[in-house]
Amino acid sequence: MPLAEIVAPNGVVLHEGVASKRAALELIAEAAAPLTGQHAQALLHGLIERERLGTTAAGQGCGIPHARLAGLGRAVGVFLRLARPVDFEAPDKQPVDLLFGLFTDAGAGADHLLALSAAAGLLREAEQRKALRAAPDAAALRAVILAHRAKDAA
């Protein structure tokens, strides 16, 4: 699943003042609300419910908080880069500064897994993480995200 289909131009957020995991999840939900047509509170609830099952931190300062919601219809992603990493209860104990928030329809099945795989692929490689952390603004950050998928498709 191409990341360009998941992450809209206004789905990339750089943020300075987040002090907690919950605050990061709130930012993801707020950014995703206009992209999904859902209320931010419903999105946040979905993210929190998923986190109760276990952390979505993937290690190396990255996380993929995600939720499945009825009536969404398509996968929607929000990429959040934090200026200061926050504790996300990661298995490797590293705080998280790169978050790929993902929302899919409750009945998405394989599309949910494909979207998760695409997000994980972006964050898996050290060079990608370095480029994501070095991007000077949201537009450059989105360009890194889209270039990664283009490289995979080649």
Angle ∠(126,80,120) on CA atoms, nearest 5: 45
How does strand 7-15 pair with strand 76-86? Answer: parallel
Task: Give CA–CA dist 3/24, Å, rounded.
Answer: 21
Task: Give CA–CA dist 20/26, Å, rounded.
Answer: 10
Question: Phi then psi for 79, rounded to 5 degrees?
Answer: -105, 125
Catalytic residues: 66
Q: Nearest CA to 81 among 3, 144, 149, 39?
A: 144
Q: Residue 38 gets which letter from DSSP?
A: S
